[in-house]
Amino acid sequence: MFGLGYLTVWVGFSACATLAQGALHETAMLSSAMAASSPRLAGTILVASGAYQLTPLKRACLVHCRSPLGFLMTTWRDGELGALQMGVRHGSYCLGCCWALMCVLFVVGVMNLGWLIALTGVVLLEKVGPAGGVVSRLAGVAMIGAGLLKFV
């Protein structure tokens, strides 16, 4: 039940991302490589994603996602419904850590394997590296800088 709750959060996010991709494709705002064809759109996504990386919400989600055992010990709920609720809550924290980085794929190309690997590396360093918060903030500053360059 915990896994079902966790999966529900990610399936919901995936559905929203798919709808966004479809809308961007329909309005010709994605190239054939599935990357933003408009520098303004790309810049906006990068600045917004980078700004989120610097928020207290991102830091709070990262704290919970970095310590799943601590999460389970402090939020334990008995029974199947309790497990489902814990799964949704933990999935929400993990989504809170990663959604902005995933949105960057709309800038660099949804199917760009190199960028997918690079962003996966950032997520991994944020979650398990000793300086995860620093990595998160540096990534945010870099995204904001790259986004602002798109407007020049």
What local confidence, expressed as pLDDT, does residue 10 receive? 94
Mean pLDDT, consecutive 10-residue stretches, the chain (152 aa), reads 93 93 87 87 95 95 81 81 92 92 90 91 90 93 96 88
Phi then psi dihedrals of residue 30, to 5 deg: -115, 140
Cα gap 90→72, rounded to integer Å: 9
Residue 43, CA distances (Å) to 5, 84, 101, 145, 149 in order: 34, 38, 14, 9, 7
Give pTM, 2 decimals. 0.86
The boundaries of the domain holding residue 128 are 2-150
What local confidence, expressed as pLDDT, does residue 29 receive? 87
Count of structural domains within the chain? 1
Contact 21, 72 (CB under 8 A): no
What local confidence, expressed as pLDDT, does residue 120 receive? 92
